[in-house]
Amino acid sequence: MKSCIIGWVLAFVSLLVGSVGSASASSETPPRLNVLKLPIADASLVTIRAVTRGPKFHWFGYYDKLQGDTTGRYLLAMEVDFEHRPPRPDDVVRIGMIDLADGDRWIELAESRAWSWQQGCALQWRPGSETEILFNDREGDRFVCRVFDVKTRKLVRTLPMAIEYVTPDGKKAVCSDYRRIQYIRRDYGYAGLPDPNLNVMAPDDVGAWSMDMETGETKLLVSVERVAKIPYPGASPEDKHYLSHFTWNPDGTRFLMFNRWGTGEGWRGTRVFTSDGVDGGDLRLLSARGASHWTWRDPDHAVISALGGFNVYKDDGSGMPKETLWIAPDGHATYIPGTNHQWLVCDTYPTGPQREQTLYLIHLPTGRAVVLGRFHSPKVYSGEWRCDLHPRVSRDGKYVVIDATHGGNGRQQYLIDISRVTAGEAFPSQAAASPSHGEENPKASSPQASTQSTVPRDRQELRSRMEEIRRQYAPYLRSLPRPLSVRSRTSLESAWRTKFEIEQAKDANRPDPPDWHREDLDDSSWKETTVPEWRYRGDAYRHPVSCILWYRTRFSATEAKTRPKDEGGEAPGSQRRTFLVFGGVDWEAEVWLNGKRLGSHVTYQEPFRFDVTGLLKDENTLAVRVASGPLFGEPRAYNAIFPMPPAKQQRYVRDKSLSIVGFKNDDLFLGAGFGIHREVYLETTGKTCLDEILVRANLEKQQATVTFQTDAATAGRLAFDVNVLPENFEGRAYRAHAIREVPRGQAKQTFVVSMPNAEIWRPEAPCLYRCRVTCRADEPLASADAVSDGARVIDAEDAIFGCRSFEMVSKQHPRDGLPEGLFLLNGRPLYVRGTNIQGFNALWYWNEMDRLTDVILMLKAAHFNVVRACQHVCFPEIRELFDRYGVMSEQDQGCGRDPLNERSLPHAGTVLARECYNNPGVVLLSLANETKFDPTKAVEAVLAVDPERILVPISGNLYPGRWPQYPIPDALWANVIQDVHGYPGWYARQGELWTFGWIRQPARFALVGEYGAEALDSYETMANHYPSHWRRTPPADADTLWAHVQVEKSDVRQFVGLRGRRPVNLGQYIEASQNYQVEVVAETSKGLRFSPRAIGGYFQFHFFDVVPANWPKSIVSHDLTPKKAYYTMAQVNQPLVPLFQLIDRGNTMELWVANDLPESREGCHLQWNVVAEERTLLGGERTVDAPAANAVVVGRVDLAAITASTEVVTIRLKLSDANGALLATYEQEVFLRLWRERDELLKTAKSQVGEAE
């Protein structure tokens, strides 16, 4: 004891004089980690998955306890129904476990009334037992520990004290007084019991107690009074002391504890002691100068976060660190089992403007660290109910589990596989590894222009980039306002039957409907079906079917008729209304209920409803007549709601396995579909219901105009609240209120909501707002985020929108120095780098959300900033997802070819304008595809709904001329841009690559809505991912083509793609087609990038296939395997990028810099190399400027020195800023012989093709 007292005195003196000795015994400087700059582990090495899901909230709590069982199959967790407030005495936490081997199934076990947000209820597996778990609870006037058997699902015993930590053999626990902690540091204590020593500064009967886990025998080991008497700097008689954070060392002989003190609620000082675990003797000072978190390395050493770093302390009573392992912000560190103490996992608190919690691994022998993930923590998770990651490591060291809030559904648990990282795959050469570039003082490395890249170049780099983007946008996927619960729905998912009235119409004469709407009709012979569904039919390619199909169902409405009182207190019966709602029908629907015709609706893009109040019976009959096809007014196109591949069963349903059954390896249909393709349900509202909320923000006036429709059963005086709530970010809410006289029936209401300093929606930070409109007969709501706080709510409805502006420079709206037709997003120039998409609706329909998300991430990884929903309108759920990921889009009505049904377009345009009004990501609307007609009436119809909308009346205008124009009045050009489709290299000028990169100069600004070339899928995709009902994929060396393609064996395009050789087998056909696709999209895209003062942008055709070989112009296969052209487009799409153009028959290279950004870059450094077979033939560098929103030639390079024997070269460009920081790279392989010999070489190729044929 004497030596310990001397140690305390020496530590006390050293604190007073400020001398702490050496912080590290090592001769090397410990790594200093900047966690915001640490490298992120490649996505192929680390998998992260949610193991719990909303709407309830799940977490585990502290990081120092056993969460997983001995088998690694089960994880313990807690579950509650609320967040963002302290637990009350009557709040119950449910205890359960997650079955990782059974789809992460939640198994409820027990419940507790003794818990906190930080440490939960001390839930943990009992060491030494395979089936027993431990948790704290409240029983009468004491906190207790429950021992529970998860196998028998029975309580084993109740022990008399609440535990904190258990010895490694599970036989003894060290216990805290949670009553005292509750009144000093509430986020670690338990509510419900008073502290008997509330006014005692250092009680002698409170402290660290031991408890036998079998008998419940307890013993006070160390009292608070005893520890408080040990000297410390700044001691005051007003200091109130407590002991907490108990942990046994690895052999269970001693335990660690924090002594904290303060003068009120909270604490101002910390020191760490250890004690003998038998009788509380041999009290030693472990850390004299503060501490935050700890982990034992071995029985004699602990790692503690203190003094600005993570330090090793020896349990020798000195109170001083022996070594600093690394310097980093405070966090919860834990050694990884099975790594010989070489690896630790650690987290951080929220840092940076995005409030990101960083989870990282550090390898001690090398000092290198790698980030496993960065997780956004909303600001609301602060203080007592914050959600720390608290990483817990599995017993075998293969995975880590965290609590996190980044997913938008509250605190949930996520499992992260770290086995490949700790096995050394993150750092391929660990023995010689140097500190990572996340350090503040990284070691210099020599630049290698030939290997550096600013875009993904392979699958590994792509996965890594996708994970970065996923983390970047995770915060914007949240929905912060509480969901509405005013309306109620009853789904009509009962059995449906169907029958054709007309399977193939011969003319447009539509007969009067038969009496198939009768209630007593015997429909037993009709075919059974499911709703929702969508069908398509075609007699042959480009010959769509026009038909009339009936649907019938019977349903019970007892529940809807006897709906209980809602949360606002409205009574059922006359105060409630019921609507029959259709989420979508394609194309025209007539509806009967119990023999009564309710009405009709045309177009597939919008939901519609009928008031059926008073029409419902206990048993009801619903009949729907669906007319579709060109003869009945529906525009036809290559793509309607879903792609239309030939199939045995040409039908989409929500179950993918039952959709497009037996789809064929053949061409697409050009046609139209039909069916009740979205949900049908009954919706109960108040006597006045709200509909069609349209919101548009005015950035200059800092306000939003909100319009909505009231549908009132009776006239009356109503109170309206319009609340604009931050949807996916923490920020200010806005509100307007008025009391108005509302007429019976439908009426339009308009509100102007002041929104000073509102957050703007931007692709890189897509902040959204939720406009919540509420009507009542009472006074304004007490809170903006609630509709059920006692006010008599009649109805409430939400609409999500973003504050942004999108316009074109025009005669009516000129901008100095900018050409007419240039797009402006939020007042800044925007160049469209786009692609065509198909199949997103199908992915949502089949609930393939992971695949859908991956496609979006691939889009963003390749720098596409706008997508064209080619010849269809995306479902509202897809459009909202685009809004949240900052993806802009053009939504297409989609009609085209003859018969055009031009007369239907004004109405269809009106519907399209309404449906897309609130989506900030929808920047363009298109009405038709590859046709010609006077679009004036349709454009005027759209602008009547949305005067700010920019339109592409015809994507692929077929009016005569190289750059055809629409015959519209001059005034409309302020909202209209022309669009052309061109396929140089595919349908025209095949092989003539030297003709594609020319600078475009149309008379008016234009978009290029489609261009591209076909390419076969990789052989791996064919062999492993083509459907089993197709015949087996031929061998790669077989002389055959495979899959639906327009590629031909003997084809000049194949000759060019294989660099002057004729391919002779499937492997070579694949290589040749993918090389040629690269050449076409590269040269065409570069030419468009060279023309930013005449071309508003481009849409490459197309991005990915939803089913195998759906349309081989895709640059991503259906299994999400990128083709070579994907990586090429990723390069060309960079906002600031160096490019080249070959001129003078390939003997001269023009160097370009294309800059889409509104800021210029001066004094940049451009390096270039021409390489053949990894030999540098030519190279050079120069200083260049990149003017804003423009593309310029910055130099020329003479290539004449490259001899004719060099047929293929690779050209590499690297652009750096004036300080040497890398800005962009570009690399492209060039078939130089083709550029030099041109037509002569193509003639040779064609002659070889002819001989082969």
Same domain, 641 and 712: no
pLDDT at residue 28, rounded to an integer: 62
Same domain, 644 and 743: no
Residue 1109 has phi, psi (to 5 degrees) of 50, 40
| CA count, 13 A, side-chain hemisphere, 1220 | 4
Q: How many CB atoms lie within 10 A of CB 943?
A: 18
Same domain, 658 and 790: no
User: 């309607």: which residue's tokens?
Assistant: 640
- 305 in a domain, yes or no? no
Same domain, 540 and 616: yes
Select from 877, 920, 874 the least CA-distant residue to 766: 920
> 997 with 1086: CB under 8 angstroms?
yes
Same domain, 778 and 646: no
CA angle (390 as vertex; 766, 440 as ends), nearest 5: 70
Eight-class DSSP state of 432? G
- 108 in a domain, yes or no? no
Q: Indicate which CATH number applies to the domain containing 1159.
A: 2.60.40.10
- 749 in a domain, yes or no? yes
Q: Which of 646, 667, 684 is the last residue of a domain?
A: 684
The most distant pair of C-alpha atoms in the chain lies apart, rounded to whole Å, by: 108
Length of the chain counted residue by residue = 1253
Same domain, 512 and 410: no
Residue 750 has phi, psi (to 5 degrees) of -130, 130
Q: Which of 629, 660, 684 is the last residue of a domain?
A: 684
Q: Which amino acid is at 767?
A: C
- 393 in a domain, yes or no? yes
Give the mean pLDDT per block of 10 residues along the chain (1253 residues). Answer: 46 41 49 87 83 92 92 95 92 96 92 94 95 96 97 96 96 95 85 92 95 96 95 86 94 95 71 94 90 92 92 93 92 93 95 88 92 90 92 95 90 94 70 34 32 80 91 91 88 91 90 96 96 80 80 84 41 72 95 98 94 95 94 71 88 93 76 89 95 96 97 94 95 95 96 96 97 83 45 89 97 92 96 95 94 96 97 95 98 72 86 97 94 92 97 89 85 95 91 90 92 95 90 93 82 92 94 97 97 96 90 92 98 98 96 95 96 94 96 96 94 94 96 94 76 52
List, edge to edge, every strand of the sheet that includes 651-653. Answer: 585-586, 673-676, 533-536, 651-653
- 151 in a domain, yes or no? no
Residue 189 is encoded by which pair of tokens? 């204590």
Q: How many CB atoms lie within 10 A of CB 253?
A: 13
Same domain, 653 and 780: no
Same domain, 675 and 693: no
CA angle (229 as vertex; 227, 231 as ends), nearest 5: 100
3-state secondary structure labels for all residues of 87-108: CCCCCCEEEEEEECCCCCEEEE
pLDDT at residue 1048, rounded to an integer: 83
- 708 in a domain, yes or no? yes
Measured between alpha carbons, how far apart are the two ends of the chain, in Å?
A: 100
Same domain, 504 and 570: yes
pLDDT at residue 643, rounded to an integer: 87
Total number of domains constituting the chain: 4
Residues linked to residue 942 through DSSP beta bridges, in sequence order: none
Residues linked to residue 1151 through DSSP beta bridges, in sequence order: 1140, 1195
Q: Tell me the pTM.
A: 0.69
Q: Which of 745, 779, 801 is the last residue of a domain?
A: 801
pLDDT at residue 268, rounded to an integer: 73
Residue 517 is encoded by which pair of tokens? 């709407």
Q: What is the dihedral of CA 235, 237, 239, 245, to 10 degrees?
A: 70
Q: Which domain holds residue 614?
A: 488-684
> 646 with 669: CB under 8 angstroms?
yes
pLDDT at residue 570, rounded to an integer: 40
Q: What is the DSSP string of 561-620?
A: HTPPP-TT---SGGGEEEEEEES-EESEEEEEETTEEEEEEE-SSS-EEEE-TTT--SEE
Q: Return all residues near 402 (Cβ < 8 A) that are at least 6 apart.
A: 347, 359, 375, 389, 390, 391, 392, 413, 414, 416
> 534 with 675: CB under 8 angstroms?
yes
> 52 with 94: CB under 8 angstroms?
no
pLDDT at residue 407, rounded to an integer: 82
Same domain, 623 and 756: no
- 207 in a domain, yes or no? no
Same domain, 612 and 630: yes
pLDDT at residue 568, rounded to an integer: 39
Same domain, 675 and 697: no
Q: Indicate which CATH number applies to the domain containing 510.
A: 2.60.120.260
Residue 101 has phi, psi (to 5 degrees) of -95, 0
- 594 in a domain, yes or no? yes
Residue 392 is encoded by which pair of tokens? 């817990």
